[in-house]
Amino acid sequence: MSMLQEFKAFAMRGNVMDMAVGIVIGGAFGKIVSSLVSDVIMPPIGLITGGIDFSALKWVIKPADASNPAHKIAEVSINYGSFINTIITFVIIAFAIFMLIKAMNRMQKKQEEAPAAPPADVALLAEIRDLLKNKP
């Protein structure tokens, strides 16, 4: 079996395809939640905290030096505001996934609790039995 045939067999298995679909959907979901956080949630939080934009918060260790145009030195800083935004995004994504899984588990539990209809053969046999009992 050639390497290409082995790869094709591997890639076409159900688990790999399901995982690929999950990764693509997860990436899109992450972008949606990131937009939710940065465009919808963070502006009111910034307003409540006095207009602070968390993404702009940083601790400058060494300021930029542009005095010599031939040899510019970039700023060295710890961008903790961006880290705060990332933590908030993670918490919201984790909560959204938790709620989604909780809803799926609830639906699955309802399906398991629903009594299964007896097979048609059993119902037919029960009807025949009842008819034979009532026969004189």
Residues of the chain with pLDDT under 70: 1, 14, 52-53, 114-120, 136
pTM value > 0.75: no
Collect all residues with Cβ–Cβ distance below 8 Å to 10 and sequence separation of at least 6.
Answer: 16
- Residue 14, pLDDT score: 65
Amino acid code (one letter) for 81: G
Domains and CATH numbers, the chain: 3-114 (1.10.1200.120)
- Residue 77, pLDDT score: 92
- Residue 1, pLDDT score: 67
How many Cβ atoms from other residues are within 10 Å of residue 89's Cβ?
Answer: 19
- Residue 64, pLDDT score: 86
- Residue 118, pLDDT score: 61
CA 59/CA 77 separation, integer angstroms: 5
Dihedral angle, C-alpha 29, 33, 34, 35, nearest 10 °: 110
Contact in structure between 81 and 55 (CB atoms under 8 Å): yes
Dihedral angle, C-alpha 58, 52, 35, 105, nearest 10 °: 100
Task: Give helix 14-35 / helix 3-11 axis angle, nearest 10°.
Answer: 60
Residue with the two structure tokens 């045939």: 5
